[in-house]
Amino acid sequence: MPIRSLLGAGLLAALVSLATPTLPALAAKQPAPKGAAKAGDLKKYDDVVTKDFATQAGVFAVHRHEDKLYFEIPQDKLGRLFLWHAEVAKGPGGGGMFGSWGGSALGHMVLKFERRGNKVYLWKVGFAKRSDGKAVQASIDASATDAIIASFAVECEGKDRAAVINVSDTFIQGLGELPLTRASGTGAGASVDTSRSYLSDVKAFPTNIEVRATLTFRTSGAGGGAPFGPAAGGAKSATAVVHQSLVALPEAPMQGRLADPRVGYFTEEFVDYSHAKHWAVAREFINRYRLEKKDPSAAVSEVVKPITFYLSKEIPEKWRPYMKQGVEDWAPAFEKAGFKNAIVCKDAPTRAEDPNWDPEDARYSVIRWVAEPVQNAMGPHVHDPRSGEVISAHIVFWHDIVKTSQIWYFLQCSAVDTKARKFPLPDDTTGAMIRYVCAHEVGHTLGLRHNHRASQAFSVSQLRDPKFCAEYGSVASIMSYGRCNYVAQPEDKVDAKHLLPKIAPYDDFAIAWGYKPIAGVKTPDEEKKTLDEWAAKQLENPFLRFGGEDGPAQVDPTVLTENIGSDPVQVTALGLKNLDRVLDHVLAATTEKGEDYELLAEVYQDMIRHRTGWLLAVAKQVGGVTENRTLGGRGGEAFVRVPKDKQKEAVKFLLDNAFTTPTKLLNPGLLNQFKYTGAATDVANLQRNLLRSLLSAARLARLADAELLSPDKAYTTVELVTDIQDGLFTELKADAPKIDPLRRQLQRAYLDVLKAEFQPAPAPTGPQVPNANVTRPGSELRAVARLTLADLETKLAAAAPKAADATTRAHIDDLRGEIGTILTADKKK
């Protein structure tokens, strides 16, 4: 995950110059400490660092004896920037993906040591304010918010007046700005019991120091451990091994690359006070690894130092080859950007091969496996806030990612892939899914954000074309949440190997945009012209477009998760056809003789979630606003509203498919295996929530915007409500109306939505407010409801005498009574 830095300045201001992003030798220029200690003020070196201590040379000397730990910091390391990173090496588990497990990050920050007299101060450093080091720098210095987070007495001095300080408690108690209590896995209320905690291991290396501490926590027992953590009620104990790294940041920061909203990267934000516009300008550097060519003049060159991922030893053997492939799937994208063999994956070295190698070491990018029943994975990274340079990444796979991968593939692909019709799925199928997940998480560590527009880039005909799918997979970016190709039908003959996402056009484009060197430039600003030209390629090529979680993603129908295809109505129709096919074999696929129906119940719930996501994608067309990420002089209008005919088509599809009773999904031969009550609850909840969404105030406000801006082209609130009402009450047109239980619930839900528009708003509280009902502000929906409800009452009255059964007649009479109450109460106001 990207670091969000605090304000920074002071002595470090020169570090962040945009024109010259290099780190001056601060230590060499740092003046002698004020109030320098006099001879005799400090202890003798041999009395502090006795012969009992074991000494390791590294970025600076480290002395350890049992639980005593001393740093010997030479003067040339004072003022040097270090990254402090804390991570759980072994945890008590619990709390699902928010508990404490090997590989879970506890935090990181940038630090520097400063000596004044016989004290060493530890500063937390931020970089949110930047300038060119000229006159305005004094103002930035005056408003700096760097903070001293710890101080240490100088015990003695080593060679060349190196300060020896006792840091034993720091690695047990943590720092105030970086608490270690999260390692308890129980949330707030934990504290370290020093009597049951100790230093486990200390290692010093040329650029970093690695410390492991075994920490025992007293916990309140009321933390967030459920369903796997400790129960509430009484204090408990938890023990974890915490790994802390202190890593020297590069003396010469990598040149930052300025972000562009058309290409999705994680970023490091800052405010530039020396911008050519002469006012404060918010800017961002993208997060990326440092890649350098061995031969800068070559179009494609071997790299000086490849991006290297290690597979930790706890990863199950059968999935390791697939995860290695998932990492190295990115190599062709880097080669297209000019870097040969830029990314590799290796097995972690054994203890015999490298006794000093550690998976929590902040210098290494590592993929970990966590023994928790969590169906997820994540790809966080830490980076240098000066430039956005990724230092390392620790990807985490929870154990039940295997389960969710199999369920995804089964629901989305088993209609086409006959080999996937029995759990557990074949190893090669599961492995291919894990490869996809791994490539996605690696993409995050390379700096890439989710691109949820990419899953809508391909047309229905392309997704049903075997040749197209063989070349491009299911989505235009592996960074989308598009998942597998559920659009292809059995008769399309798309090979099962090509139903999954793969590194696709947007991924190649984004890697080249973020990593490809630009010859002849010396500053980030000099890159902007070329970067703009590269980004503008997406105007002509829809496969290269980006849309993430930012901006108007909630209302943009081309930015979707768990959906694929450029036409949500068509793809959802095809997806529902495939889900119906899956229903034919779901019972046999999920059950074994003599075993329970737990897997069947879980797969069925995921099937409901799939339907929900697909139908909500169709609903997003109504009042939808598409964001075209255009910049000045690049493209047309930034925001375009969905055409009226597309909105009406979406409403009709929902009325025909979402608001009708799905008899196959409600097959009693299926539901009676695992549901003893609430057989229709899941479907009823989906229908109610979808209906509320269609008639939500935010959606109706967007319809009003469209009517204001283009009245002759708008889909109005009157039209929307009329279309919905006509579709929800089609039974009234029958010669003998008969309304089933699910439709009765839905029709009552419709009245409830409209009725709420006539209810008084909750009265404000407080002595200054009179005790009276407060009328809700007028809304488009309330005005339309007066018209449509009167029309509905007339149709109900005509249908009541023709009802096919007493239950339907009672339901119709109840609706008439409710409408009468609503309209009568409104007239009395």
Using CA atoms, how far apart are residues 165 and 117, in angstroms rounded to an integer?
13
For residue 310, give both structure tokens: 């290690």
Cβ-contact 512, 599 below 8 angstroms: no
End-to-end CA distance of the chain: 55
Positions of E strands within 249-319: 267-272, 281-286, 301-302, 307-311
Q: List pLDDT tens digits, range 545-569.
A: 999 787 788 899 999 999 999 999 9
Q: What angle, 0 to 180 degrees and rounded to 10, lies between the N-to-C axes of helices 401-413 and 568-583?
A: 100
Between these two residues, 66 and 223, which has the higher pLDDT value?
66
Using CA atoms, how far apart are residues 126 and 7, in angstroms rounded to an integer?
5
pLDDT band with cut points at 50, 70 and 90 for residue 142:
low
Q: What is the 3-state secondary structure (H, E, C) of 160-196?
A: HHCEEEECCCHHHHCECCECCHHHHCCCCCCEECHHH
Cβ-contact 126, 146 below 8 angstroms: yes
Neighbours of 41 (CB within 10 A): 11
Is residue 451 pLDDT above 70, yes or no? yes
CA-wise closest residue to 548 among 265, 202, 142: 265
Domain regions of the chain by residue span: 10-286, 287-400+430-447, 716-761+776-828
Using CA atoms, how far apart are residues 8 and 130, in angstroms rounded to an integer?
8
Computed on alpha carbons and rounded to an integer, the radius of gyration of the chain in Å comes to: 31
Q: What angle, 0 to 180 degrees and rounded to 10, lies between the N-to-C axes of helices 741-756 and 717-728?
A: 150
What would be the CATH architecture of the domain defined by 287-400+430-447?
A: 3-Layer(aba) Sandwich (3.40)
Using CA atoms, how far apart are residues 752 and 754, in angstroms rounded to an integer?
5
User: What integer pLDDT is reported at residue 16 of this predicted model?
Assistant: 30
Mean of the per-residue pLDDT values of the chain: 87
Q: Could you tell me the pTM of the whole model? A: 0.87
Using CA atoms, how far apart are residues 544 and 63, in angstroms rounded to an integer?
54
Q: How many CA atoms lie within 13 A of 541 on its CB side?
A: 12
Scanning the structure block, which residue is given the tokens 């070329």? 530
Q: List pLDDT tens digits, range 678-732.
A: 888 999 999 999 999 999 999 999 999 999 999 999 999 999 999 999 999 999 9
Q: List pLDDT tens digits, range 43-62.
A: 999 999 999 999 999 999 99
User: What integer pLDDT is reported at residue 372 of this predicted model?
Assistant: 83
Q: What angle, 0 to 180 degrees and rounded to 10, lies between the N-to-C axes of helices 717-728 and 681-694?
A: 160
The bridge status of strand 390-398 relative to strand 365-370 is parallel
Q: Please give the average per-residue pLDDT across 76-82, as a whole number.
A: 95
User: What integer pLDDT is reported at residue 92 of this predicted model?
Assistant: 76
Q: Give the percent of the chain with pLDDT over 90.
A: 70
Is residue 229 pLDDT above 60, yes or no? no
Using CA atoms, how far apart are residues 78 and 249, in angstroms rounded to an integer?
13
Q: Identify the H or E element spanning 150.
A: strand 147-157
Q: List pLDDT tens digits, range 469-486.
A: 999 999 999 999 999 999
Using CA atoms, how far apart are residues 82 and 669, in angstroms rounded to an integer?
63
Burial class (CB in 10 A: 0-12, 13-18, 19+), 303: buried
Is residue 649 pLDDT above 50, yes or no? yes
Is residue 633 pLDDT above 60, yes or no? yes
Name the DSSP letter for residue 538: G
Q: List pLDDT tens digits, range 353-396.
A: 998 888 878 789 999 998 888 888 888 888 999 999 999 998 99
| β-strand partners of 256 | none
Is residue 33 pLDDT above 60, yes or no? no
